[in-house]
Amino acid sequence: MDARVREHAAIIADHSTGIETGDNVVIQLPAAAEDLGVALHEICGDRGANPVYLNYSKRADRAFKRAADEFEEPAHRRALYEETDVFVIARGGANVTEDADVAPETNAAYNRAMEAVKRERLSKTWCLTQFPTAGHAQLAGMSTAAYEDFVWDAVSLDWEAQHAFQAELVSILDDAEEVRIRSGEDTDLTMRVAGNTALNDDGEANLPGGEVFTAPVRDSVEGEVHFDLPLYRYGREIAGVRLRFEDGEVVSHAADRNEELLAGILDTDEGSRYLGELGIGMNRQIDRFTYNMLFDEKMGDTVHMAVGSAYPETVGDDNALNESAEHVDMIVDMSDDSVIEVDGEVVQRDGTFVFEDGF
Amino acid sequence: MDARVREHAAIIADHSTGIETGDNVVIQLPAAAEDLGVALHEICGDRGANPVYLNYSKRADRAFKRAADEFEEPAHRRALYEETDVFVIARGGANVTEDADVAPETNAAYNRAMEAVKRERLSKTWCLTQFPTAGHAQLAGMSTAAYEDFVWDAVSLDWEAQHAFQAELVSILDDAEEVRIRSGEDTDLTMRVAGNTALNDDGEANLPGGEVFTAPVRDSVEGEVHFDLPLYRYGREIAGVRLRFEDGEVVSHAADRNEELLAGILDTDEGSRYLGELGIGMNRQIDRFTYNMLFDEKMGDTVHMAVGSAYPETVGDDNALNESAEHVDMIVDMSDDSVIEVDGEVVQRDGTFVFEDGF
């Protein structure tokens, strides 16, 4: 086993989740990530934690979804999650387009049926991470060996230093009333964040981490946004997304590629037409786009917004929590002709923060 | 995907477990068996059943067990099983000796901690089957292709005809008071079966099936037995086992190979020194020994006995149920110089039943 796999497992257990004696742990991995599964089981044994090992198989998921007419909440999965303390989930399928032929409305129906189960999972300590596989390397246009370096370097960042860097933005957003994001000709969006909480993602729920994120006040989003970086979702590329918001709601949408998949996402439920997250990527070590949101959304010089569910811990008691079975992040490149304003003050220009050079 | 994988999945779903709309299904498979997992997920989708896909990884289990000092019952696994209707579990590790370096006392401690969870699982509809892998082919001394034929031919037997054949022995045992098994110089064992129930294994809980099995009355087993066929357990071969019983209990034991592993099994708990099962193999299609108990114990011309837990459905209300965290089957070759007697009447001689040729 590559020594970096054991390091990766140790970071998950120590830094990201803090696995302790007596913890009930669920480890959900694709077949290719068995080494990581072995390393995590070793840690569980060593600490007196109890692992359950789920298979994360897009092939099986695809077969199930395509064959089904309707979906219901699986009581046994819910019971498992209710008794779980820590979830560790890794991406790393052999073929990232494995579910490319599942209909958008099928995914939406499945997600609706699983919404309460997903909420249960997210209420526990969890970590989403990546195992480097040939399929993901191919998507990134990289050799498998270079992609392994990319992933394992990214997860073993100095998270304390990263936390300190991001804390400067958190302190700005803590006192903020309104955020405005402008980029090029096509993006000018304002949203209130007053009363909500900005969180410092330093590699816990996401490994790698490297963003500061909060929730927009649900009905406050106004304007237009052009997500100029593409994303993969349900095994397909969605590119060139444009959304227009009024009173927080998506009132028009377009995409250059797979617009019908985007439409299916927005039609999942009421909440999937509202923003649940605003995130600002601050991880400068992630220096290339790899078509993998877990990494792409953390890149420096980017912001991302998610349609769908908000993280409850980011939403203040006086603000509405946007609930949805969906949560789809999309990215705006902020490296050029772009500013982030907070209450009328510029806090980032063309990717550089005010606390970096003071302008 | 090999068409026989889909046939295998259909037999599991239709014949072995009867998966129906609304069933909560757990599918536990090794990585190599993903095709079978995909086929079972397709069936679950088609029928409106809900799958949870567990990974059956001996590598991970080994790492966990070796690292742990003690074990406790995992509440989340138990919660999952309590809400489950159907379990499908397949063997098919890449390396059948993967757990060869786990200490016998560690396995015993683990099994004790998991005993209630195991009982919960066995109280539901379940099916243990085999996926043909290179590792199991190697253990059998066969090419992988020939082993695939062996496994898939075995699971697709005419189970109705097999049931009818086995029913003749069930009817003899239904009225039986006592069974005596004699083979060669070293095996002469008597046990009461009065009040217990003989079951017809026609490929449901075990696929392939092909035996008739019951429980000895717990304290009634007397005599000596030489299990002249070896077995693999916990990744190691145990060969040439000899046991002597008094009042049902193993009072002396020996083995030509891995005797200390046998001793560890017998020392698991009180119940592991008593027999929980007597089975008579009747599947003549399984015509070779493959070092895999799922197949070996079904061979014609064999009987097997398990130390450890009895199946509750074989034990009458007036008889004690032998409980144990263990259940280890061992086989006697009955093809030569051997008889099975039921209440003094010979029902099998050198592998041939009385209802086959009437002697």
**B308, two tokens:** 């450890």
The closest of B132, B142, B145 to B35, measured between CA atoms, is B132
* DSSP letter assigned to residue A310: P
Q: Which residue has the tokens 């803590």?
A: A174
- Which among B36, B55, B58 is the top mutation candidate for probing chain A, defined by the most A β-carbons within 10 Å of its own β-carbon? B55
Q: Is the distance from CB of B276 to CB of B283 less than 8 angstroms?
A: no
Q: How far apart are CA A353 and CA A349, in angstroms?
A: 7
pLDDT at B285: 92
Taking contacts as CB-CB distances below 8 angstroms, the residues of chain B near A69 are: 48
Does B63 contact A34 at a Cβ distance shorter than 8 Å?
A: no
pLDDT average, residue stretch B234-260: 96
Q: Is the distance from CB of B334 to CB of B351 less than 8 angstroms?
A: yes
pLDDT at B357: 75
The closest of B359, B294, B357 to B329, measured between CA atoms, is B294
Dump pLDDT digits (tens) for B164-223: 999 999 999 999 999 999 999 999 999 999 999 999 999 999 999 999 999 999 999 999
pLDDT at A317: 94
Facing residues of B231 across strands?
B238
Mean pLDDT of chain B: 96
pLDDT at A173: 96
Pairing of strands B206-207, B211-214: unpaired
pLDDT at B282: 96
Q: Is the distance from CB of B263 to CB of B108 less than 8 angstroms?
A: no
pLDDT at A99: 92
Residue B273 falls in which region: left (phi positive, over 0), alpha (psi -120 to 50) or beta: alpha
pLDDT at B172: 97
Dump pLDDT digits (tens) for A327-352: 999 999 999 999 999 999 999 999 99
What domains appear along chain B, each with residue ranges and CATH number?
Answer: 3-155 (3.40.1830.10), 159-357 (no CATH)
DSSP letters spanning B229-295: B-EEETTEEEBSEEEEEETTEEEEEE-SB-HHHHHHHHTSSGGGGBEEEEEEE-BTT--S--S-HHH
Dump pLDDT digits (tens) for B279-320: 999 999 999 999 999 999 999 999 999 999 999 999 999 999
The beta-carbon neighbor of A60 closest among B24, B50, B53 is B53
- CA distance from start to end of chain A: 48
pLDDT for residue B359 is more than 70: no
For A335, what's the count of Cα atoms within 13 Å in the CB-facing half-sphere?
Answer: 10
Q: How far apart are CA A280 and CA A333, in angstroms?
A: 11
| pLDDT under 70: residue ranges of chain A | 358-359
pLDDT average, residue stretch B343-359: 90
Taking contacts as CB-CB distances below 8 angstroms, the residues of chain A near B52 are: 54, 74, 76-77, 80
Query: Does B80 contact chain A (CB < 8 Å)?
Result: yes
ipTM of this complex prediction, to 2 decimal places: 0.92
pLDDT for residue B103 is more than 80: yes
Q: Which residue has the tokens 């939406």?
A: A108
pLDDT at A55: 97
Dump pLDDT digits (tens) for B42-89: 999 999 999 999 999 999 999 999 999 999 999 999 999 999 999 999
3-state secondary structure of A184: coil
pLDDT for residue B358 is more than 70: no
* pTM to 2 decimal places: 0.94
pLDDT at A358: 62
Q: How far apart are CA B202 and CA B163, in angstroms?
A: 5
Please tell me which residue of chain A has the smallest CA distance to B51: A74
pLDDT average, residue stretch B112-138: 95
pLDDT average, residue stretch B39-44: 98
Taking contacts as CB-CB distances below 8 angstroms, the residues of chain A near B77 are: 50, 52, 80
